[in-house]
Amino acid sequence: MNPYDCPLRLDPGTGVWHCPQCGYEHSRPSDRPPRRNCPQAPLARDALRNHVLARLDDKRELGLCELSDAQTTARLDACQKCPQFTGRVCGRIPGCDAAEKWITRLASGNCERWGESTG
């Protein structure tokens, strides 16, 4: 198993695959668990955080982002707790379904899950 994958467990009674780390459920019948990046996997969280912070550093140099690393981390933590977060992008908000668009939204957008409202 990839360390970034959800450690899915099958509930024999319901036939649903369930991730105990992030709560993801997959209900299509299958003998083998589906693969999915787990947003709660420690290695995935660290790798994603480092990637996002590096991309936002690039945006700061261009004057496109005024968020501090602490603000970015708080927003990222909120995203990672959301059931619509796929581990790489937001599946909840239209336009955030590609990594670069989602990172841009982190830098300059808003989401009710962040508990704040910006630009």
Looking at the structure, do residues 74 and 103 belong to the same domain, yes or no?
yes
What total of structural domains would you count in the chain?
Answer: 2
41 has a pLDDT exceeding 80: no
pLDDT band at 1 (very low <50, low <70, confident <90, very high): low
- Higher local confidence (pLDDT), 83 or 17: 17
pLDDT grade for 50, boundaries at 50, 70 and 90: confident
Range of the domain at 97: 42-111
Please tell me the distance from the alpha carbon of residue 33 to that of residue 37, in angstroms, as a whole number.
12
- Residue 116's pLDDT band, with cuts at 50, 70 and 90, is low
Average pLDDT, stretch 53-65? 86
Query: How far apart, in whole angstroms, are the C-alpha atoms of residue 80 and residue 38?
Result: 9
Q: Is residue 68 domain-shared with residue 87, that is, in the same domain?
A: yes
